[in-house]
């Protein structure tokens, strides 16, 4: 299962619950984009799943900023214990 599959299932299915680690990685990537960091600032191993998950948050936030949509957080409606 790819990161994109995990994220799309988490967003589209009310019963899917991503791991707290996935939520934290996506939010960290999104925050990095909001803070003006470079894509190359991804602190995770290029060959690992964490790199891809962080990058998903970064890339989605970048597009949202380009379109004036504000903060990207696909997990905003989740219970706070998942953060």
Percent of the chain with pLDDT over 90: 67
pLDDT digits (tens, 9 = 90+) for 12-30: 555 678 999 999 999 999 9
Please give the pLDDT value at position 15.
62
**What is the domain partition of the chain in residue ranges?**
22-75
pTM, whole model, 2 decimals?
0.74
- For residues 40-66, b (16+ Cβ closer than 10 Å) or e, as one string? eebebeeeebbbbbbbbbbebbbebbe
Percent of the chain with pLDDT over 70: 76
pLDDT digits (tens, 9 = 90+) for 40-71: 999 999 999 999 999 999 999 999 999 999 99
Question: Looking at the predicted structure, is the pLDDT value of residue 82 above 60?
Answer: no
Element (H, E) at 11: helix 3-12
């Amino acid at each position: 299962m790819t990161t994109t599959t995990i994220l799309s299932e988490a967003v589209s299915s009310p019963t899917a619950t991503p791991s707290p680690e996935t939520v934290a990685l996506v939010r960290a990537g999104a925050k990095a984009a909001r803070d003006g960091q470079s894509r190359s600032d991804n602190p995770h191993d290029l060959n690992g799943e964490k790199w891809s998950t962080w990058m998903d948050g970064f890339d989605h936030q970048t597009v949202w900023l380009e379109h004036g949509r504000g903060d990207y957080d696909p997990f905003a409606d989740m219970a706070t214990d998942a953060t």
